[in-house]
Amino acid sequence: MTQLVRVWDAPLRLFHWLLVLSVSGALLTGWLGGTWIDWHARAGLLIIGLLSFRIAWLVLGSTYARLSTLLRSLFALPQYLRGDWRQLGHNPLGVLSVFAMLGMLSWQAVSGLFTNDDIAFTGPLYKLVSSGLSSDLTRLHKLGMWIIIGLIALHILAIVAHVVLKKHNLVKPMLTGQTEQEYPEQKPAQGGHWLAFVVALVIAVGAVYAASGAWQSKPPPAPAVAPAW
């Protein structure tokens, strides 16, 4: 007899779906370029905020969102490959996927802060690096887009494989926060309450402010030119 147990807290689910939307928007606007590049930059700042929130949530979140749980799962990879996995949350391969996605998105979002398009657009922190380094980061940033698309494709493929091969819907728990408890040792998630959410949100807002470059001193206005008469 199975019963529903809490596995994903509401802040984590909100983060997940906002990240889906923001990454989709960043990929689309980056692909279109031109006048869409400013929206691409805004999506990048949103992604930085979301990733900063998730990093904070590795410590402040509920049981299966925490870094300690993810690492414990990762170390159980041999057990998982033997078919003995009985824990809730991400399985060891899922943890590898999470780390790869978060790491690659972090690189992509941070590198984008220093990019330029050789025409009119520069990232908000472009002035902090040399033009040569900015060009190198721009080239790697464009390459990173394809790596992220590949990771997304693998992620979707894994979800489909779970549904087809294991009859296990991974999307539903990320919508409802609950999944079926199959073994007595599986315990519902604990923690991740509103105070932790507020702290993580403050950290995310601070990260967006730092990445936006709004703290940089603005150049003085150009002197007025006297009329030639």
Q: Rounded distance, CA 82 to CA 128, Å?
A: 50
User: pLDDT digits over 43-58, tens only?
Assistant: 999 999 999 999 999 9
Q: For residue 224, is pLDDT > 70?
A: no
In a domain, 20, yes or no: yes
Q: For residue 204, is pLDDT > 80?
A: yes
Residue 180: its pLDDT value, please? 87
Residue 226: its pLDDT value, please? 63
CA dihedral 18, 24, 25, 27 (to 10 degrees): 140
In a domain, 222, yes or no: no
Tally the domains of the chain.
1
Residue 179: which CATH number? 1.20.950.20
User: pLDDT digits over 130-179, tens only?
Assistant: 999 999 999 999 999 999 999 999 999 999 998 998 888 899 999 999 99
Among 76-80, 122-126, 180-184, 223-227, which stretch is predicted with the lowest mean pLDDT? Answer: 223-227
In a domain, 219, yes or no: no
User: pLDDT digits over 4-31, tens only?
Assistant: 999 999 999 999 999 999 999 999 999 9
| Contacts (Cβ under 8 Å, ≥6 apart) of 103 | none
Cβ neighbours of 70 (radius 10 Å): 20
In a domain, 129, yes or no: yes
pTM, entire model: 0.92
Residue 119: its pLDDT value, please? 84
Mean pLDDT of 201-227: 85
User: pLDDT digits over 86-128, tens only?
Assistant: 889 999 999 999 999 999 999 999 999 999 988 889 999 999 9
In a domain, 176, yes or no: yes
Residue 207: its pLDDT value, please? 98
In a domain, 227, yes or no: no
In a domain, 51, yes or no: yes
| Contacts (Cβ under 8 Å, ≥6 apart) of 148 | 23, 27, 101, 104, 105, 108
Check if the beta carbon of residue 122 is closer than 8 Å to that of residue 116: yes
SS3 assignment, position 109: helix
Check if the beta carbon of residue 215 is closer than 8 Å to that of residue 209: yes
In a domain, 28, yes or no: yes
Range of the domain at 172: 4-212
